[in-house]
């Protein structure tokens, strides 16, 4: 029964624990069940909660079974009625018996619920419940629309092929708002993104996990903002040398680079000119965490990019020697180091559960005669506490939400690490282009780092500057939100970010995403650095050491989120822990 107790403990953990729901789950050291099983149970049961509440209340089992709490009953009844293998516990276990001795009544109420919704099949019933949840406004905490972003993977397919298959039944709309209005009669709507090639927005509730395209790695769920770095670096016709993703797990940016390279190759083959033939670019991808590096390798393989990508397992980017012959042809680097995560939307993204009424005394009545609460057993520890009522509005976020309080001191420490990482990248001998990104809204980690980089000796010696707006790929030149001069009111009032001395041209070269606007992204920052090659630069000052203990903090594009997501924590090598491409 540890599966259900673990699920309850994750759902009822205080929000002060920090981090996204998925990252907390995978980082937990207290779970006895597989994190993948716990995650699957919670997310699937959450899709049925309003129907399960109805069934449990009508069956009246909470009034009869003292061992069951509302949350435990919902999870157990979900597995009993809807899981192929039933309740994951021995037949003699008291909690399983507490549910199964009412199986006739529960099944009868479930059938009545299905008949009331005029659904002949379980898939039809699932869709009906989804519509009910949308109609009730579940998850609609703000006016902003946060769609599900789907990137077509050109290593395995093309946009044209996906339009004829995966998205054949989708109606094209002109705005994100149109994805979610009138959902009852227009469930399948899509918007082809105007800024990032091969990126599609669909309504938040649309599922792809069971589609052949998702399982085969033909489509990847990736937040729009996290697509900016690779596209800013490569554009649509990369003609440079090899590439490095220095903080890569779980791999969305790496596989996005592979997709852009594959598309560029297909275009060059179609217009083949023997005189311009050159060695194809290769991607070298790494993450300091061995566990996360395994996830990175899985994602690269499933995306079909093994021939394009070499994964350096557990490699700290700051420990690389830029003079190593392996990197002599590296001309482009993507850097997405650890940051405060202040731009991530829906930090407390525990799935919402509508729980059945318990029909039992309130917690206050459980006090003893001295007014002290009774000591609880494990299965009673916090199960009666309602889980968060917030629903994730986050797209497939790649970065972990903050696990500590965001203070100016914390931001300063992170910005120091970020500065060291970017400075180290500037020293690679053949490098001519770099992108630096964070999922932070704070000037300290963004424009202030850019200013500091431009003032560094290595940048001045080697001729590095900010990639101007007019030099950016066509789609990103259209992006309106640009760098700021001082801390914006969108940030925390406790943060005093100061003012940067970047020129207007340099700030125009920085791209910003703000949560809560009409673009459907979280907070994000990305900038490109470019070296024209007019200076060869004597790199005697190359940094070869780590940036103190903080170097282990390089997490790269983390799942979420998503994101997702974001398979973190201990890895026992089990294939069951692979969660695909949502970070």
Which tens digit of pLDDT belongs to each residue from 456-475?
Answer: 999 999 999 999 999 999 99
Average pLDDT over residues 161-182: 90
pLDDT attached to residue 14? 64
The DSSP letter of residue 347 is S
Q: Would you state the torsion angle of the CA atoms of residues 10, 44, 4, 31, taken in this order, to the nearest 10 degrees?
A: -50
> Would you tell me the crossing angle of helices 408-426 and 447-454 to the nearest 10 degrees?
40
| pLDDT exceeds 70 at position 73 | yes
CA 194 to chain centre: 21
Element (H, E) at 144: none
- Largest Cα–Cα separation, the chain: 91
Q: What is the per-residue pLDDT for 494?
A: 54
Distance CA 316, CA 244 (A): 12
pLDDT at 69: 93
How many CA atoms, within 13 angstroms, populate the side-chain half-sphere of residue 574?
Answer: 13
Distance CA 179, CA 282 (A): 38
- Cα-Cα-Cα-Cα dihedral of 391, 396, 399, 402, to 10°? 0
pLDDT higher than threshold 80 for residue 16:
no
Percent with pLDDT over 90 in the chain: 56
Place of tokens 């470019």: 530
Cβ atoms < 10 Å from Cβ of 258: 29
Q: Out of 443-457, 480-494, 540-554, which region has the weakest mean confidence (pLDDT)?
A: 540-554
Q: What is the pLDDT of residue 343?
A: 87
Global pTM? Answer: 0.68
For 329, the token pair is 């042809």
Nearest residue to 295 (alpha-carbon basis) of 484, 566, 504, 39: 566
Residue 383 and residue 235: Cα distance in Å, rounded? Answer: 51
Average pLDDT, integer, range 98-102: 95
Least confident window among 20-24, 120-124, 189-193: 20-24
Q: Which three-class secondary structure state does DSSP give residue 82?
A: helix
Give the list of residues 6+ apart from residue 94 with CB closer than 8 angstroms, or none. 67
**Other Cβ atoms closer than 10 A to 190:** 22
- Is residue 250 reached through a cis peptide bond, with omega within 30 degrees of 0 on the bond before it? yes
CA distance 34 to 40: 10
Tell me the H-state helices in 136-185.
159-164
Distance CA 565, CA 209 (A): 13
Question: What are the structure tokens assigned to 261, written together?
Answer: 């390279």
* Interatomic CA distance for residues 553 and 17, integer angstroms: 18
State the pLDDT at residue 194: 97
**pLDDT confidence of residue 540:** 38
Confidence of residue 103 (pLDDT cuts 50, 70, 90): very high
The 10s digit of each residue's pLDDT in 273-286 is: 555 546 789 999 99
- Best CA proximity match to 423, nearest among 385, 461, 388, 381: 461
Lowest mean pLDDT: which of 158-172, 298-312, 554-568?
554-568
Beta strands in 222-374 (DSSP E): 242-245, 283-286, 309-312, 330-335
Q: What is the mean pLDDT of the chain?
A: 80
Question: Is pLDDT of 38 > 50?
Answer: yes
Q: What torsion do the CA atoms of 403, 408, 410, 413 make, to the nearest 10 degrees?
A: 150
Region for residue 227 given its phi and psi (left: phi exceeds 0; alpha: psi -120 to 50; beta: otherwise): alpha
Give the pLDDT band of residue 393 (cuts 50, 70, 90).
very low
Q: How far apart are CA 77 and CA 87, in angstroms?
A: 8
CA separation for the pair 229, 225 (Å, rounded): 8
Angle between helices 122-135 and 49-59 (to 10 degrees): 100
Taking residues 331-351, what's their average pLDDT? 81
Task: Report the pLDDT averaged over residues 495-517.
Answer: 89
Phi first, then psi, for residue 433 (nearest 5°) are -150, 140
User: Helices 49-59 & 35-46, crossing angle to 10 degrees?
Assistant: 80
Residue 346 pLDDT more than 60?
no
Q: In sequence order, which ranges of 101-205 are alpha helices (DSSP H)?
A: 103-116, 122-135, 159-164
pLDDT of the residue at 116? 94
Helix, strand, coil tally for the chain in percent (to 5): 40, 10, 50
pLDDT at 373 over 60: no
Who wins on pLDDT, 351 or 425? Answer: 425
- 30-44, 254-268, 337-351, 544-558: least confidently modelled range: 544-558
pLDDT in tens, 420-470: 999 999 999 999 999 999 999 999 999 999 999 999 999 999 999 999 999
**Of the segments 202-216, 399-413, 418-432, which one has the largest average pLDDT value?**
418-432
Beta strands in 504-562 (DSSP E): 511-513, 524-531
DSSP string over 382-403: STTSPPP-------S--SPPPS
Residue 295, pLDDT > 70, answer: yes
Q: DSSP 3-state assignment of 572?
A: coil
């Amino acid at each position: 029964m540890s599966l259900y107790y673990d699920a309850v403990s994750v759902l009822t953990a205080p929000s002060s624990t920090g981090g996204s729901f998925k990252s907390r789950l995978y980082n937990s050291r207290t779970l006895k069940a597989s994190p993948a099983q716990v995650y699957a149970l919670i997310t699937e049961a959450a899709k049925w909660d309003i129907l399960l509440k109805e069934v449990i209340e009508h069956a009246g089992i909470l009034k009869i079974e003292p061992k069951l709490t509302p949350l435990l009953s919902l999870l157990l009844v979900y597995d009993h009625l809807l899981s192929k293998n039933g309740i994951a516990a021995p037949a003699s276990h008291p909690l399983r018996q507490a549910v199964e001795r009412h199986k006739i009544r529960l099944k009868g109420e479930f059938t009545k619920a299905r008949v009331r919704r005029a659904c002949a099949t379980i898939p039809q019933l699932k869709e009906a419940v989804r519509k009910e949840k949308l109609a009730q406004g579940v998850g609609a905490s703000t006016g902003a629309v946060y769609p599900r972003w789907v990137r077509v993977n050109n290593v395995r397919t093309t946009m044209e092929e996906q339009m004829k298959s995966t998205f054949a039944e989708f109606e094209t709309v002109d705005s994100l708002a149109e994805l979610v209005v009138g959902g009852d009669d227009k469930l399948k709507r899509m918007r082809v993104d105007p800024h990032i090639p091969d990126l599609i927005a669909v309504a938040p509730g649309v599922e792809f996990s069971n589609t052949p395209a998702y399982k085969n790695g033909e489509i990847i769920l990736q937040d729009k903002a996290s697509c900016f770095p690779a596209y800013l670096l490569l554009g649509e016709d990369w003609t440079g040398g090899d590439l490095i993703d220095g903080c890569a797990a779980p791999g969305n940016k790496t596989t996005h680079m592979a997709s852009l390279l594959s598309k560029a190759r297909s275009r060059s083959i179609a217009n083949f000119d023997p005189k311009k033939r050159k060695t194809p670019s290769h991607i070298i991808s790494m993450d300091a965490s061995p566990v996360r590096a395994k996830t990175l390798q899985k994602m690269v393989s499933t995306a079909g990019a093994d021939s394009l990508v070499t994964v350096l397992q557990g490699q700290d980017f700051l420990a690389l020697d830029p003079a190593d012959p392996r990197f002599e042809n590296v001309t482009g680097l993507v850097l997405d180091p650890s940051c405060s995560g202040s731009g991530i939307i829906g930090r407390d993204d525990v799935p919402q559960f509508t729980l059945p009424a318990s029909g039992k005394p309130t917690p206050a009545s459980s006090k003893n005669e001295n007014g002290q609460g009774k000591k609880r057993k494990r299965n009673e520890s916090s199960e009666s506490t309602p889980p968060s009522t917030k629903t994730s509005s986050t797209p497939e976020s790649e970065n972990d939400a903050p696990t500590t309080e965001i203070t100016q001191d914390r931001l300063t420490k992170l910005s120091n690490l970020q500065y060291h990482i970017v400075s180290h990248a500037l020293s690679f001998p053949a490098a001519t282009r770099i992108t630096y990104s964070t999922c932070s809204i704070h000037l300290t980690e963004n424009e202030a780092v850019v200013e500091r980089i431009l003032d560094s000796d290595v940048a001045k010696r080697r001729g590095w500057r900010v990639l101007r707006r007019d030099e950016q790929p066509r789609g990103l030149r259209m992006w309106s939100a640009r760098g700021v001069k001082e801390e914006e009111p969108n940030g925390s009032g406790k943060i005093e970010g100061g003012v940067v001395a970047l020129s207007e041209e340099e700030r125009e070269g920085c791209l910003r995403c703000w949560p809560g606007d009409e673009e459907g992204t979280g907070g994000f920052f990305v900038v490109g650095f470019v070296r024209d090659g007019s200076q060869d630069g004597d790199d005697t000052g190359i940094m070869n050491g780590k940036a103190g203990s903080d170097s282990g903090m390089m997490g790269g594009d983390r799942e979420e989120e998503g994101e997702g997501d974001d398979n973190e924590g201990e890895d026992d090598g089990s294939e069951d822990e692979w969660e695909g491409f949502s970070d």
